[in-house]
Amino acid sequence: SQQGEEDPQALSIQEGENATMNCSYKTSINNLQWYRQNSGRGLVHLILIRSNEREKHSGRLRVTLDTSKKSSSLLITASRAADTASYFCATDADRGAQKLVFGQGTRLTINP
Amino acid sequence: DAGITQSPRHKVTETGTPVTLRCHQTENHRYMYWYRQDPGHGLRLIHYSYGVKDTDKGEVSDGYSVSRSKTEDFLLTLESATSSQTSVYFCAISEGLAVLNEQFFGPGTRLTVL
């Protein structure tokens, strides 16, 4: 089963609105990463948040991590058409492993 | 794409034929990874390498082998391709351990096994 699972699977909003995606995981983690994938392209790293951090910002992106709930959220503010993409969270499968496990992603569509 | 190329970008082959996909990096990163991406499954790790001649299995390694004879090249081989291996294959690299560092992804190879 997937370590990270995104919710919702698909999200459609109007340009200028904020988009929020969530990721839940099952076991304790060292850190959690978010990636973006534009259609037909490889994944692009967005942000890494460590297990001892609660919030992190990068431009219009805000990531929160709640280790007690084993969940993370990615907020994109003031969305643009170029934000249309799939967004994936990735975590280490367990604290002893050295491999990332990706969720199935949230498909975000920004409507003009 | 952070100095990562994959070849070929598209390939159509027949069941039972051998197929080799190549990943080439110019970043001199130690770690290299092969993933496959399928609808409903997200990205799944096939094999990874933590140095020249050092490789390990991932989540879905059956039917695949890898080799890394040089830092810059990581080869993925399907010894006898099956239709279930039809997928998009991504190579990724990281300077350090993937769980501690960001990964950089190549553009992908779309493989169709008929």
Nearest to B99 among A35, A42, A92 (CB): A92
- Of chain B, the end-to-end C-alpha distance in Å amounts to 30
Average predicted confidence (pLDDT) for chain A: 90
CB contact under 8 A, A102 and B44: yes
Q: How many CB atoms lie within 10 A of CB A81?
A: 10
Question: What pLDDT score was predicted for residue A100?
Answer: 84
CB contact under 8 A, A31 and B99: yes
User: Coil, strand or helix: which one is A3?
Assistant: coil
User: Closest Cα to residue B98, out of B58, B53, B42?
Assistant: B58
Segment A73-101, tens digit of pLDDT: 999 999 999 999 999 999 876 555 567 88
Task: Write the CB contacts of A30 (distance below 8 Å, at least 6 apart in sequence).
Answer: A50, A51, A92, A95, B99, B100
Task: Over range B27-46, report the average pLDDT.
Answer: 91
Those residues of chain A that have pLDDT short of 70 are 1-3, 93-98
Smallest CA–CA separation between A51 and chain B, in Å?
11
